[in-house]
Amino acid sequence: MNINGKKKIWSEYQKEIPEDHYFYVRSCIRQNFFPASEKLFLEIVRERLSLDFFETEHHTTCGGIAYHSDTIPQETVMTIVARQFALMTEAGYKNYVASCITSFGLYTEILDTWHHFPELESKIRDYLWKTTKREFQKPEYLAHASDVVYKLRNKIASQAKYKLVNKDTGEPLKVVEHIGCHYSKMFPSKGVGGAEYPYVLTGMIEAWGGEIVDYPERRHCCGFGFRQYLVQANRGYSISNTHKKFESMAPFKPDMIITNCPGCPYFLDRWQYVIKEMEGKTYGENGEGIPVFTYEEVAGLVLGYDPWYLGMQMHQTAVEPLLDKIGIKYNKEEKYLL
């Protein structure tokens, strides 16, 4: 068979992703802003697919946001990560799955640095022992939670109640995918599809009936930039980069955006609101924004979960235009009911 172009490049970056027996660690940002996505992830793998995903209350932040805001040194973040690995080892697991791109990128970077500088790994093992009396094995397999959903995409499709299709026209919905820089820009071979043609979200969208939009700034950063958002005075950086992406995708009239990262959906969602407030400009149809989702939220919609159970009332950019296009049933009055 002659596989050409992008397909060939993608095929070089396919990972062998284990399906079962994972040690699960959460994302700080997602727990704050998209908490129900993590709830749904565990519900799908544990309850619908009867897989083993273990979580301990003793895991903490990986320190990634602080590390990339330069408020903690490299050896600190490495020792915190080593502690997470120790918790995995103590629980008897070998596959490690992170619900966060910043974490996933950081774990990948740390394992690579230790590989190049084994003396640093020994030093970190000493630090960990001295401070916590813990020891660790390195994970045999490191996954991002979206890798697992990618792996399970066809099983999810087989249980689907809805497809990513416009109910009126029968056409596939046009979907913008945003990967998140730290997923594979540093270590392309660690992400499904590499850095040029990441396939992790594309694979889900294709399996669930939608169509991916290719647009010029598809790989541009969402604009988080750590200190460039976290310090109020710097937020012009953040919104300018998000603005650039929206201007670039707008001519392609996307119906929705699916994201991979903890921060990206927050910025793509919230900065649309701010651009509307500042300039009166909107990027969706009828003066609305383009709804932004996490991959778990999209999986949840496809599986027929209630949007408010999926936490979509926590979005600022309304999701209803997309729900209506697909024909998903929901109760408007219940949206903000507590």
Partner 1 sequence: MGKLFDRLNEDYRFREGLNACINCGTCTAICPAAEFYKYDPRIITDTVQSKNEEAIEELLKGDTIWYCGECMSCVTRCPRKNAPGLIIMALRSLSMDTGLFIHSEKGRQQYALTVALNNNILNYGYCVYPRTFKYKSHPEYGPVGKWIEENLEAVHKKVGSNLDGDGPGILRKIPDEDLKELKDIFDATGATKRMETIEMYSIERAKALGMSREEYLNHIFTTTLKEHHR
Q: What are phi and psi of 176, to 5 degrees?
A: -90, 130
Check: CB of residue 65 under 8 Å from CB of residue 33.
Answer: no
Question: Which of residues 172 and 191 has its CB atom nearest to partner 1 in the complex?
Answer: 191
Rounded Cα distance, 247 and 90, in Å = 49
Instruction: Give the shortest CB-244-to-partner 1 separation in angstroms.
Output: 7
Instruction: Give the shortest CB-130-to-partner 1 separation in angstroms.
Output: 6
Instruction: Give the shortest CB-166-to-partner 1 separation in angstroms.
Output: 26
Contacts of 325 (CB under 8 A, 6+ apart): 166, 167, 168, 173, 255
Question: Which of residues 73 and 251 has its CB atom nearest to partner 1 in the complex?
Answer: 73
Q: Please choose, from the candidates 160, 255, 169, 171, the residue with its C-alpha nearest in 3D space to the C-alpha of residue 204.
A: 160
Question: Which of residues 71 and 154 has its CB atom nearest to partner 1 in the complex?
Answer: 71
Instruction: Give the shortest CB-15-to-partner 1 separation in angstroms.
Output: 17
Question: Which of residues 166 and 316 has its CB atom nearest to partner 1 in the complex?
Answer: 316
Check: CB of residue 104 under 8 Å from CB of residue 112.
Answer: no
Contacts of 43 (CB under 8 A, 6+ apart): none
Q: Which residues of 8-28 are buried (b: 16+ CB within 10 A; e: fewer)?
A: eebeebebebbeeebbbbbbb
Side-chain half-sphere of 116: how many Cα atoms within 13 Å?
Answer: 5
Instruction: Give the shortest CB-152-to-partner 1 separation in angstroms.
Output: 20
Question: Which of residues 70 and 168 has its CB atom nearest to partner 1 in the complex?
Answer: 70
Instruction: Give the shortest CB-105-to-partner 1 separation in angstroms.
Output: 8
Question: Which of residues 25 and 142 has its CB atom nearest to partner 1 in the complex?
Answer: 25
Instruction: Give the shortest CB-303-to-partner 1 separation in angstroms.
Output: 16
Question: Which of residues 50 and 232 has its CB atom nearest to partner 1 in the complex?
Answer: 232
Question: Which of residues 165 and 267 has its CB atom nearest to partner 1 in the complex?
Answer: 267
DSSP string for residues in 97-120: EES-HHHHHHHHHHHHHHHH-HHH
Question: Which of residues 151 and 228 has its CB atom nearest to partner 1 in the complex?
Answer: 228
Instruction: Give the shortest CB-283-to-partner 1 separation in angstroms.
Output: 16
Check: CB of residue 259 under 8 Å from CB of residue 178.
Answer: yes
Contacts of 23 (CB under 8 A, 6+ apart): 54, 55, 87, 88, 91, 93, 95, 96, 97, 139
Rounded Cα distance, 127 and 113, in Å = 17
Contacts of 126 (CB under 8 A, 6+ apart): none
Contacts of 215 (CB under 8 A, 6+ apart): 176, 248, 249, 251, 252
User: Residue 211, SS3?
Assistant: strand
Instruction: Give the shortest CB-32-to-partner 1 separation in angstroms.
Output: 5
User: Residue 64, SS3?
Assistant: helix
